[in-house]
Structure formats: C-alpha cells, structure tokens
C-alpha cells in the first residue's frame, strides 16, 4: 500500500514539475499571457504561434500546434489576437491547418477548434489515411462569442461580431454580425 501511494505521489510531482516548466517557458515568451493550470501545450516550432496581449487560457485546455505532420503537407499554426478570453477545457488542434482567432473574443468552456480532418476511403483504415488538404484551417474574426460546447470544423470562417450558441457544430462559414445555433449550426438572427 505504501509503495503504491509513493508511486502516485512521485508521478504527481513529475507532472507538476513538467507543467511548471512549460508554464515558465510560455510566460517567458508572452509575459502578459494568463494561464490557469493545468494546461497541455504541444508545439514543434515556437515561431508558428502568435499571441496578442492579455490572452487568457482556462484550466484543462489542450493546445496542439504542429507545423509539420506525417498526415498532411499543410503546415499548422496558431494566431490569437489581444484580449481574447478562452474558457476551461478548450481543445485546439492546429495541425494540418492554420487557426486564427481575432481580438476581444470570448470562447467559452469545452470548445473544440479542429484545423484538419482525416479523409475517408472505402476499404482503408481511417487512422492510416492522410488528412483532407482541401478543407483546412479556421478563421475567427474580432469580437466573436463562441458558447459552451461548440465544435468548429476545418475550413470555417466566422466573421467579426458573430455569436455561436452553446452546443453548436459549425460546418460552414458564418457571416459577420449574425447569431447561429444548432447541429449543424444555422442562422437565427442578425445582430443590429
């Protein structure tokens, strides 16, 4: 019993050390970055990430930015504008495409932003196929509010001042100044 508890304690200490080291590296590069631990940040090339002033990431967020992938020739990158607030449990997958988030955005809890997706083919094993290189990346304009539990799929552009309601799945472009909800998301009104 004692050895099992000790092993768990040591594992937590190693995890804490790795999170602290990762946090220090991120804050050294972006001193005005606000992070609520724990955050998982995977990046193969720091030059592929641009963060504006006063960006906030909530706890349990996972950010993956890979400039190179064996599944796609499209480089991955991430750009987030100033004063953008991101809630807990965000899932960003900027591999095989570029994810751009504007300034002054609110991205609520449990949101997934996926820059690329696997292709499908009859008789093939899906996890061995490459990613779709025709529909990649996500662009989110300035002053956009994305509600809790939203998933934004590759190739989508969300215009400035748009709102996406909680639980929506965004599969196509959203014009500026509109409110969208549902699965798949559809426009319900224009913001005056």
Please give the positions annotated as active site. 118
Distance of CA 15 to the CA centre of its chain: 22
C-alpha closest to that of 150 among 176, 181, 178, 174:
181
Strand 185-190 with 178-182, pairing: antiparallel
Q: Looking up tokens 């990158």, which residue turns up?
A: 77
Per-residue HEC secondary structure of 130-188 comes to CECCCCCCEEECCCCEECCCCEECCCCEECCCCEECCCCEECCCECCCEEEEECCEEEE
Structural tokens at position 7: 């092993």
Handedness of CA 140, 144, 148, 150 (dihedral sign): negative
């Amino acid at each position: 019993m004692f050895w099992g508890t000790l092993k768990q304690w040591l594992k937590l200490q190693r995890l804490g050390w790795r999170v602290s080291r990762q946090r220090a590296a991120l804050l050294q590069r972006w001193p005005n970055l606000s992070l609520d631990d724990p955050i998982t940040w995977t990046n193969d090339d720091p030059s592929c990430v641009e963060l504006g002033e006063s960006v906030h990431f909530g706890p349990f967020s996972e950010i993956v930015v890979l400039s190179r992938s064996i599944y796609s020739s499209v480089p991955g990158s991430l750009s987030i504008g100033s004063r953008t607030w991101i809630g807990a449990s965000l899932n960003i997958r900027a591999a095989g495409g570029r994810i751009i988030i504007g300034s002054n955005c609110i991205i609520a809890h449990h949101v997934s932003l996926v820059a690329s997706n696997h292709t499908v083919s009859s008789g093939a094993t899906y996890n061995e196929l490459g990613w779709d290189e025709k529909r990649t990346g996500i662009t989110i304009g300035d002053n956009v509010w994305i509600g809790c539990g939203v998933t934004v799929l590759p190739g989508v552009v969300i215009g400035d001042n748009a709102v996406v309601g909680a639980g929506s799945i965004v599969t196509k472009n959203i014009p500026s100044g509109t409110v969208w909800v549902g699965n798949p998301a559809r426009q319900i009104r224009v913001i005056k």
